[in-house]
Amino acid sequence: MYDCVIVGAGPAGATAAYHLAKRGRSVLLLEKQPLPRYKPCGGGVSPQIAQWFDFSFEPVISQKVTRVRYTYKLKDAVEADIPTNTEAIWMVRRDEFDHYIVQQAQQQGVTLQDSTKATGIEFCSDHWQINTSAGSVQGKYLIAADGARGPVAKWLGFQEREFTVGGALEAEPRLPVPDGHVVHFELGMLKNGYVWNFPKADGYSIGSGIFGRSTRKSRDLIQPLEDYAAQFNVNLKAAEQHGHPLCIWKTDQVLHTQHALLAGEAACVVDPFTAEGIRPSILSGLKAAEAIDRALQGTAEALADYTQVVAEEIGREMRWAQRLAALFYKAPGLSYKICIKNPRGTAQMVRVFSGELRYSDVAQRALQRLSGGLIA
């Protein structure tokens, strides 16, 4: 009988496991894939996450970005340095990054069962029984951190989670990178989304994503991705491409039920403006660990408090990101002119991504500029 069984060893699940074990709790971490495992993701990570751990991430930082380059329909390039008083954005490969957090959790006493698929759950009086491909396990509490497509949330009764459907298509060709300190964004080739090129030490992560109401079929992401890759002399037809859905935050919602919580993409915490998922997933994992620990101490409202904490610490910022995204992607050409070509625009967004500013600190001003431009 474990204090907590966590399904999913991504950033949310691994973080929850680490922090529960640090508090002396017995934790079983289940992952259906063998670790380390490939995960489609641009791999941009906010250095803000360092404050939530007591170990260094330097071993798995592939590159540190100090400059941002934008284009609109492959033209009108804008480049800006990340402010010298702001830490560079981290670029990671998710197989290395996720596994690294899991390894830190194991050092704290977490039991890992990878290559183990959850096949069903049952609540038994005062604990959960989780049926897996390797047999049944029991836990007093359960955290569903198995991602956007994971089944555990539905098994727990969350049939109608509120989220905006998004989609992304990515490839990670391994090749020499001329300048790995520059991250690239193309903002005119997709409606309600963008195309990106995130450098790593040994290659790129090139992807295209749609993050809003006009999400189309995945094949609509292919040609913009290939056209953008060609700008870097990359032939994506020769590279393996990976598509995946996104559960983008839409509204605050209940994330707890009897002896169980949702965390990470299972909790639909992907940023509506940038589609950033790693930082909010890690934060949700941290808060889930704190809630489970309090519940194990006998605090009756600990799990309900988790729902409220996520709404206050993640949802409040997501609401501002949602408002900004609605205007920005409505008229991307105008948005590019008003926001991206504004000398302060990149500096402020980098500081938001780095955790130095909140969306609420900058969004009102940006919304006023965008609204004024649309009215004009």
Query: pLDDT tens digit string along 34-50?
Result: 999 988 889 999 999 99
**From CA 64, how far away is CA 174, in angstroms rounded?**
18
Element (H, E) at 369: helix 359-375
Per-residue pLDDT band at 376 (split at 50, 70, 90): very low
What is the band of 259 on the pLDDT scale with cuts at 50, 70, 90?
very high
Lowest mean pLDDT among 18-27, 301-310, 331-340: 331-340
Q: Mind giving me the DSSP string for 299-359?
A: -TTHHHHHHHHHIIIIIHHHHHHHHHHHHHTTSHHHHIIIIITSHHHHHHHHHHHTTSS-H
Read off the pLDDT of residues 22-79 as tens digits, 9 standing for 90 and up.
999 999 999 999 999 988 889 999 999 999 999 999 999 999 999 999 999 999 999 9
What is d(CA 193, CA 213) in angstroms, rounded to the nearest whole number? 10
Global pTM value: 0.94
Cα dihedral sign, 2-5-10-13: negative
Q: Which of 1-15, 26-40, 231-245, 290-304 has the lowest mean pLDDT?
A: 231-245
Contact at 8 Å (CB) between 370 and 338? yes
Q: Are 63 and 88 in contact (CB under 8 A)?
A: no
Count helices and strands in the chain by DSSP H and E runs: 10, 18
User: pLDDT band at 218, cuts 50/70/90?
Assistant: low
**β-pairing, 67-72 with 182-186?**
parallel
Q: Which architecture does CATH list for 2-375?
A: 3-Layer(bba) Sandwich (3.50)
Query: Predicted confidence band at 215 (pLDDT cuts at 50, 70, 90)?
Result: very low
For tokens 């997709």, name the residue. Answer: 190
> Which residues have a Cβ under 8 Å from the Cβ of 323 and sit 6 or more positions away?
363, 367
**Domain spans of the chain?**
2-375
Minimum mean pLDDT range among 157-171, 297-311, 350-364: 350-364
pLDDT higher at 16 or 172? 16
